[in-house]
Amino acid sequence: MAATDWTFLSDGLDAASVARGVTAGIARPPGGGAFVYGFNSLGVAKGAVALFANQANFAPMAKGGSIRGCAQRGSGGGATGFAPFLFLCGQGTSVNDNAYLLGLSDDDPHRIVLRKGSVAAGIAAADGPGALTHSSESFAQGTWLHLRLDVVVNTNGDVVLSVFRNDLVKHPVGAAADWQPVAGMATFIDDALAINSGSKPFTSGRSGFGFAVSDVTRRGFFDQLELARQT
């Protein structure tokens, strides 16, 4: 996807607080191309920066979809105070709107976390507010993880959320991915009765990627972003 395919969500941190853009200065995931997209906090500011896919039929998507991408919690000024994430079914064009977020927790070591809540809050600790499920395995800072979130809207109004991971060592970027369920992260049904998550499911919306931060010199990176919509 090209740079013109993405639009920043409003109300996010500005470029004076968080630098953002493509760079060849960071080691890519196995099989990666010439550049990655990165974020680097330049000061102590709490909030998020996020972009959504702006193409026709994706802004918003009428139903669910699937988003895949490589993400890394990069080395920097500390091991906590930041989290990169993918999101689906964003309920508006502001970072203050809610979505389903799949990302890397603000922990050391970190875990893969599926969360329901505001984009601005990002991904907190693995068992933080809004967390629906998290991986049993933890990962060191600087690890590239190739993740996939599927959101399927059923005809009865239930929303089925499934998380997968591709092993980049065995199946690098550019090769056919081998998507496997993430250990500890069972399929989550956000039911139409608002029981399992405590609120009504999201059945449509925008999708993209972002970076939540609360301290200086925190960094997050992305590569190989892909997006598909439920038809």
Structural domains counted in the chain: 1
pLDDT tens-digit readout, 94-117: 999 999 999 999 999 999 999 999
pLDDT in tens, 149-193: 999 999 999 999 999 999 999 999 989 999 999 999 999 999 999
Q: pLDDT by residue (tens digit) across 50-86?
A: 999 999 999 999 999 999 999 999 999 999 999 999 9
Band of residue 2 on the pLDDT scale cut at 50, 70, 90: low
Q: Would you state the pLDDT for residue 1?
A: 59
Three-state DSSP class for 141?
coil
**DSSP H helical ranges for the chain:** none
Three-state SS at 73: strand
Contact 49, 39 (CB under 8 A): yes
Rounded to whole angstroms, the maximal C-alpha distance in the chain is 48
**What is the rounded CA–CA span in Å between residue 102 and residue 160?**
14
Three state DSSP letters for 63-132: CCEEEEEEEEEECCCCCCCEEEEEEEEECCCECCCEEEEEEECCCCCECEEEEEEECCCCCCCCCCCCEE
Can you give the residue range of the structural domain that contains 40?
A: 3-229
117-146: average pLDDT: 96
Instruction: Output DSSP code: residue 168.
Output: T
What Cα–Cα distance (Å) separates residue 102 from each residue in 16, 64, 131?
26, 14, 10
- Residue 51's nearest CA partner among 24, 79, 90, 109 is 90
CATH value at residue 170 = 2.60.120.560
Give pTM, 2 decimals.
Answer: 0.96
